[in-house]
């Protein structure tokens, strides 16, 4: 695990364990929590090792969505309990498969990539920054875009999370300030 991704994983692990205990105690079921990781697979060589797409960018942009609707729960082959590192890897796999630097793939087999947030929202933001903010004067600048969510939890379907889940998240899994501190986005 690389430097930034390791810092994020170290941030998430104790907070997720504590939140998970609270969710289990109240018999609340949520989908996979949304945990960032910036190490991507390099040229299909296996393993998520390349953070340079983010660290070497001239402009780092963190875009926020609302919450991770229909974010799948990772399934481990050996039947062991899913850990916070598995959620980080889920994000990295999704990003490696679908993020292409200047746009987000919307024609892959992954149903999340077909989401309007990616095809119109996320890609629209990337295109707007490239065309209107950087323009021709800064066309040689490398921009990296990272998708994040204000709420890290989802119950699935079309419904957002209820107030009590938001309260638990706020109390036990308030991580956005630390994510920003670790990743240091420019925008």
Q: What are the pLDDT digits (tens) for 155-176?
A: 766 667 788 888 999 999 999 9
Report how far Cα 143 is from the mean position of its chain's Cα atoms: 17
pLDDT at 114 (0 to 100): 63
Exposure pattern of 160-178 as b/e (b: 16+ CB <10 Å)?
ebeeebeebbeebbebbee
Nearest-angstrom CA–CA distance, 146 and 156? 22
With beta carbons less than 8 A apart as the criterion, state whether 90 and 37 touch. Answer: no
pLDDT at 29 (0 to 100): 82
Nearest-angstrom CA–CA distance, 93 and 84? 14
Please compute the mean of the pLDDT values over residues 53-75 and round it to a whole number: 79
Please compute the mean of the pLDDT values over residues 5-12 and round it to a whole number: 92
Host H or E run for residue 48: strand 48-50
Q: How many CB atoms are closer than 10 A to CB 14?
A: 11
Confidence of residue 21 (pLDDT cuts 50, 70, 90): very high
Instruction: Identify the domain containing residue 43 by its residue range.
Output: 3-183
The encoded tokens of residue 186 equal 């420019």
Query: CA dist 98 to 48, 78, 101, 107, 185, Å?
Result: 14, 27, 9, 9, 21
Domain count within the chain: 1
pTM across the whole model = 0.78
């Amino acid at each position: 695990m690389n430097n930034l991704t390791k810092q994020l994983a170290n941030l998430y692990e104790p907070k997720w364990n504590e939140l998970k205990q609270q969710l289990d105690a109240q018999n609340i079921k949520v989908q996979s929590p949304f945990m960032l990781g910036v190490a991507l697979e390099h040229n299909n060589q296996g393993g998520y090792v390349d953070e340079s797409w983010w660290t070497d960018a001239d402009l780092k942009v963190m875009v926020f969505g609302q919450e991770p609707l229909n974010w799948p729960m990772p399934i481990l082959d050996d039947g062991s309990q899913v850990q916070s590192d598995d959620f980080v890897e889920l994000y990295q796999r999704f990003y490696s498969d679908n993020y292409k630097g200047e746009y987000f793939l919307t024609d892959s087999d992954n149903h999340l990539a077909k989401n309007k947030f990616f095809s119109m929202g996320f890609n629209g933001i990337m295109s707007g920054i490239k065309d209107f903010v950087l323009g021709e004067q800064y066309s040689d600048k490398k921009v990296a875009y990272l998708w994040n969510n204000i709420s890290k939890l989802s119950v699935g379907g079309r419904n957002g999370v209820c107030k009590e889940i938001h309260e638990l998240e706020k109390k036990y899994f308030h991580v956005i300030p630390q994510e920003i501190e670790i990743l240091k986005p420019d925008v």
